[in-house]
Amino acid sequence: MAFKDEINRRRTFAIISHPDAGKTTLTEKLLLYGGAIQTAGSVKGKATAKHAVSDWMDLEKQRGISITSSVMQFEYEGCCINILDTPGHQDFSEDTYRTLMAADSVVMVIDAAKGIEPQTRKLFKVTAMRHIPIFTFINKLDREARDPFELLDELEKEFGIGTYPVNWPIGCGVGFKGVFDRDKRQIMTFNEFHRGQEKLTAIECDITDTEKLDELIGEYQRAELVDQIELLDGASFEFDLQKVQKGELTPVFFGSALTNFGVEPFLENFLKMTTTPLARETREGTVNPTDETFSAFAFKIQANMNKAHRDRITFFRICSGKFERDKEYFHIQGGRSLRLSQPQQMMAQDRQVIDEAYAGDIIGVFDPGIFSIGDTVCDIKHKVEFKGIPTFAPEHFAMIEQIDSLKRKQFVKGVEQIAQEGAIQIFHEPNSGMERVIVGVVGELQFEVLEYRLKNEYKVDVVRNNLPFQYIRWIRNRDIDISSLNLTSDTKWVQDFKGNNLLIFTSEWNINWALEKNKDLILEDFSND
């Protein structure tokens, strides 16, 4: 296949949602259609002993939530699809944010009974900043649900985006009869025992065919459907593919991922509407995916995915050109050429070594500790540097200490490796060693993950003492004498492990005090380093 054709058949998207909206279930049903897996795992392990294939970490299987982003690739009807499954829990929003930077479009899963929830709102805002296509799957129609017009109105008002329902639900819960395809004028009837065992056959039925509609869904639901479709056809947004691809109009699909209803039509429509790999901005200009020179950036680092080898994998989004195994590339931040060792494509924790990959693909490479999130790797002769991925300021802080002093080496290694993944940020008080580390996180559940991973991956037990700090600021004065600053007693001076000086505060009042009492002090709430 020609170089450009290979790139143009790529589709790379992230799936976002609030916890329990059905995101991981939808992901698995998409993988089933692509033949990537044969049996879907039960996310919480209730129906079977299996777990969601995208939830590879033991703690994820125990708690029934996604903690880290997963990468999965499969083929479907001539398209090469890269799915980025993300954590739904707000405590892991930073990992989701970085993953969204690697996607060309987003699928937003919404619980039909709950509508837009806080985490969905936060993730949408991050997505909207990039102006990429957003597709909405309103899930769990086989249960009692809110009025679909209310859900559309909420989407439009909350997000300031137009909605176009591609299909429309016929009832919900015990009265759920299926969906009506607005464009094809077809009805797909619901059978809760189907569960995707074979391809559902849509029944052609115009909205004016009263007799056939009565036979399929009953007189009452037929009358309701006719009224709703007339209202939609007359008053809702018209379909506009350009607006979809600019993120200004979201196609909306109704279905039930658990029973596999509506997933296949969603996938087929999605592949027709979403974009091929998008251009990316560098410090030098724009890189187009069909440029022949290779470039990629690191958006995720994960240690110890393989328990047998305790290795570390860095995930790269290929932005242009073709990747070739054993070819030398240039690491911009490291300032040297290298070969990307053991290039792999992923199915959660399962891997396959590859010889080549194209713009739009996600590859994982063995990392001996040289890569950081946001790093660029590119062609030796045509160097580019992608703009960095901003870091969220932590909001919760704790002092972490090892219990067994003989395991100091494992403790230091574990804390530093997990920090390099971007899951936590680590600090220390000036002139102190690594026995006591201050850890900053965006969400408190990350502390639990840190303790679990230190114990299970590095065999280190720790004691955690939560600290009262809520705010962190980077000191931008390079020549200031920090020890002589006039600060409140509950403000602490710390350093990160790049040697940057920071202050952590218990309140905004203390921040204002520091600025008022130290006129030359310059503070920033983000890091460019």
Structure-token match 């009832």, residue found: 171
Burial of 99 (0-12, 13-18, 19+ CB in 10 A): buried
How far, in Å, CA of 205 to CA of 295, rounded? 50
Q: What is the pLDDT of residue 36?
A: 62
Task: Give the global pTM.
Answer: 0.78
Q: What is the pLDDT of residue 457?
A: 84
Q: What is the pLDDT of residue 369?
A: 81
- Whether the Cβ atoms of residue 231 and residue 113 lie closer than 8 Å to each other: no
- Whether the Cβ atoms of residue 19 and residue 65 lie closer than 8 Å to each other: yes
Give the CA count within 13 Å in the CB-facing half-sphere of 235. Answer: 9
Q: Tens place of pLDDT for every residue, the chain, 529 residues?
A: 789 999 999 999 998 888 788 888 888 888 887 776 655 443 333 333 344 444 434 444 443 333 344 678 888 889 999 988 776 444 445 677 778 889 999 999 999 999 988 767 777 877 777 789 999 999 999 999 999 999 999 999 989 999 999 999 999 998 899 999 999 888 988 876 655 555 567 787 778 888 888 888 889 998 999 999 999 988 889 999 999 999 999 999 999 998 889 998 999 999 999 999 999 999 989 999 999 999 999 988 877 655 554 577 888 999 999 999 989 999 999 999 999 877 877 554 466 788 899 999 999 888 888 898 889 999 999 999 998 776 767 888 999 999 998 999 999 888 888 887 777 889 988 877 666 799 998 778 788 888 988 898 889 999 999 999 999 998 988 888 998 999 999 999 999 877 889 999 999 999 999 999 998 999 987 665 5
- Whether the Cβ atoms of residue 39 and residue 49 lie closer than 8 Å to each other: no
E strand or H helix at 269 = helix 263-273
Q: What is the pLDDT of residue 56?
A: 38
Structure-token match 């829990």, residue found: 89
Q: What is the CB neighbour count within 10 angstroms for residue 418?
A: 24
- Domains within the chain, CATH numbers bracketed: 3-273 (3.40.50.300), 280-378 (2.40.30.10), 396-524 (3.30.70.3280)
